[in-house]
Amino acid sequence: MKTKNQLAAAPWVFTVGFFLLWELVCRAFKISSFILPAPSTILLAVWEYRSQLTYHALHTLWMTFAGFGLAVGFGLLLGMLLGSSRLINAGSYPLLVGFNSIPKVAVVPILVFWFGVGWVPPVLTAFLISFFPIVVNVATGIATVEPEMEDVLRALGASKKDIVFKIGVPRAMPYFFGSLKVAITLAYVGSVIGEQNASNVGIGNLLTRASAAFEVPLVWAALVVLAVLGVIMYAITAYAERSMTGWAQRSQMAA
Amino acid sequence: MKPFVDIHDVTHVYARAEDGVPAVQNLTIRINEGEFAAIVGPSGCGKSTLMKLATGLQFPREGTVIVDGKEVGAPVKLAGMAFQNPTMLPWRTTVDNILLPLEIVEPHRSRLRKHKAEYVAKAEGLLEQVGLKGQGHKYPWQLSGGMQQRASLCRALIHEPKLLMLDEPFGALDSFTREELWCVMRDLHAARKVTIILVTHDLREAAFLADRVFCMSARPGHIVAEREVTFPRPRDLEITYTPEFSELVHELRGHIAQARKAA
Ligand SMILES: Nc1ncnc2c1ncn2[C@@H]1O[C@H](COP(=O)(O)OP(=O)(O)O)[C@@H](O)[C@H]1O
Ligand SMILES: [Mg+2]
């Protein structure tokens, strides 16, 4: 019981400890707040700019969820397609990997040519950067159905579709929910990158403007807000994973 | 009597076999309706391949496979299968796992939703027959390996198949559980007129359960010996300790040893 409590407390202790250490180092070495502001300074800045930060953060969240939603829908569909056909899988894998290797910052200008500055580039950047892990995980879950299980159903006259929907898709769910944790963080990074380069609102845009104006505390405050929101979104998807696919953790099947 | 499963002079090469050596060659075997046939042979000799040929999961390169009077050109749709690995779906309860074949096979497929209660009762009846009364609501991972294997037998039988294929179903179980399941199998076979093909490497299992035991050669596999088992039914586990039984097992062992040496 003791170790369980310790485990639950550890994240808080480590986080608080990290910021205390940071504060101490800043004060002990009298580091200029232009180089590295102390957490207390950043916190003050967060408070000072709270309305501006809230406005832009909400915009960023909105972009992230839109892009993430697209990635989930597209990722599920493509993953199901790749998982159920070895031919399509083999054929499209190099394309997918190649596409995934392109730094998405480099794609933003193209999105601006196509759609102009606004909400479309951040949403699409979030989408483009985050669908890949979903596709790969869903495809893997479906493609690794035990051959015996497949034989049992095929001997009864089951079609490929029956097998994919009755076994493949439910089996892929732990993989799918696992990939959401990765995908949401990626989508978030994507929307911030998109906003930095092709939007007039959002935390990304705020960062660009604040750094151009050398408003160092505001830059740091924006970063902290980003980090906190990132942790919250990750926690939500992790919770969804646990509550949706409890059977995968209790059975031996490793997700 | 017309054979129920008639495999005639079949040679099969897997499309993905690297060396192009057939898995089975000139394989001929006839199994009568309602018969309990056991197939024994060294590992890799093509026993599972024979199963796949008889159920239409693979098609022979040469020769013919006739099941229930029809040449097999597609999965046969009347077979139930169970393997060494129980392959229960962990997100379904045991009863829902057992009902899975009904979601595929007509006419049950279209009736299942409306007559769910009737089918659940049937699944529970089967569970009782295999000694799992009242365990249907549990998830497979809450059951032991032997219990999962029992449930897997129920799944193989729920749609009342005319042909039951068992591929080393008790291979992963301890010997006590295995002998219990022999008796379950014996009683299931006695209770319904189903043709059973049991693949096993346990010669005692084959001798205790089967009406006829077929010995296969090493790869490429074909039948090298066929032995009628004449012990009267219902058989009691005690017969496995009689000298006649030991003699039969010994004889089968001789065939297998020869088959392995020939390879
Ligand atoms: N899907 C497959 N593709 C290629 N070769 C296979 C395949 N399945 C089985 N084989 C080969 O066919 C031979 C017989 O296999 P199998 O019927 O599974 O043997 P058994 O069940 O008697 O151990 C083996 O040598 C095996 O390597
Ligand atoms: Mg085998």
Q: Is residue B176 domain-shared with residue B249, that is, in the same domain?
A: yes
Domain residues for the domain of A143 are 55-246
Out of B113, B128, B158, a domain closes at B158
- CATH (domain of B169): 3.40.50.300
Q: Where are the alpha helices (DSSP H) in chain B?
A: 47-55, 94-99, 108-111, 116-129, 145-157, 175-191, 203-209, 243-262
Q: Is residue B151 domain-shared with residue B131, that is, in the same domain?
A: yes
Testing ligand 1's pocket by substitution, the residue of B25, B45, B168, B197 carrying the most ligand atoms inside 8 A of its CB is B45
Quick one: pLDDT band at residue B260, thresholds 50, 70, 90? Answer: confident
Q: Is residue B139 domain-shared with residue B106, that is, in the same domain?
A: yes
Whether the pLDDT of residue A254 is over 50: the answer is no
Residues B66, B56: Cα–Cα separation, whole Å = 10
Which residue of chain B is at minimal alpha-carbon distance from A158?
B104
The number of distinct structural domains making up chain B is 2
- What is the structure's pLDDT at A73? 97
Q: For residue B83, is it within any domain?
A: no
Q: For residue B24, is it within any domain?
A: yes
Mean pLDDT within B192-196:
90
- What is the structure's pLDDT at B113? 86
- CATH (domain of A76): 1.10.3720.10
- What is the structure's pLDDT at A228? 93
- What is the structure's pLDDT at A253? 47
Q: Is residue B168 domain-shared with residue B251, that is, in the same domain?
A: yes
| Tens-digit pLDDT profile for residues A8-39 | 899 899 999 999 999 999 999 988 888 899 99
Q: Is residue B203 domain-shared with residue B121, that is, in the same domain?
A: no
Q: For residue B139, is it within any domain?
A: yes
Mean pLDDT within B37-58:
91
- What is the structure's pLDDT at A251? 64
User: Pick from A168, A163, A165, A99: which is nearest to A137 by CA?
Assistant: A168
Q: For residue A37, is it within any domain?
A: no
% of chain A residues with pLDDT over 70: 97
Mean pLDDT within A191-219:
92
Q: Is residue B63 domain-shared with residue B137, that is, in the same domain?
A: no
Q: Which residue of A150, A152, A167 to mutate against B (max B Cβ within 10 Å)?
A: A152
| Tens-digit pLDDT profile for residues B121-162 | 999 999 998 888 889 999 998 999 889 999 999 999 999 899
Q: Is residue B166 domain-shared with residue B257, that is, in the same domain?
A: yes
Put residue B34 in one of left, alpha, beta given phi > 0 → left and psi -120 to 50 → alpha.
Answer: left
B169 interface with A at CB cutoff 8 Å: no
Q: For residue A225, is it within any domain?
A: yes
- How many C-beta atoms surround the C-beta of residue A35 within 10 A? 8
- What is the structure's pLDDT at B152? 94
Mean pLDDT within B163-190:
90
**From the CA of A45, how many Å to the nearest CA of chain B?**
49
Out of B142, B158, B174, a domain closes at B158
Mean pLDDT within B34-41:
93
Q: Is residue B147 domain-shared with residue B184, that is, in the same domain?
A: no
Q: Is residue B144 domain-shared with residue B32, that is, in the same domain?
A: no
| Contacts B159 to A, Cβ<8 Å | 156
Exposed (0-12), middle (13-18) or buried (19+): which is B131, by Cβ within 10 Å? middle
Q: For residue B227, is it within any domain?
A: yes
Q: For residue B84, is it within any domain?
A: no
Q: Is residue B170 domain-shared with residue B253, that is, in the same domain?
A: yes
Domain residues for the domain of B125 are 89-158
| Tens-digit pLDDT profile for residues A216-240 | 889 999 999 999 999 999 999 988 8
Q: Is residue B50 domain-shared with residue B178, that is, in the same domain?
A: yes
The Cβ-side half-sphere exposure at B69, using a 13 Å CA radius, reads 4
Whether the pLDDT of residue B221 is over 90: the answer is no
- What is the structure's pLDDT at A255? 33
| Contacts B56 to A, Cβ<8 Å | 155
Question: Are B159 and A171 inside 8 Å of each other by CB?
Answer: no
Mean pLDDT within A167-185:
92
Q: Is residue B177 domain-shared with residue B136, that is, in the same domain?
A: no
The number of distinct structural domains making up chain A is 1
Q: For residue A86, is it within any domain?
A: yes
- What is the structure's pLDDT at B220? 85
Whether the pLDDT of residue B181 is over 70: the answer is yes
**From the CA of B159, how many Å to the nearest CA of chain A?**
10
Out of B113, B131, B158, a domain closes at B158
| pTM of the predicted protein model | 0.83
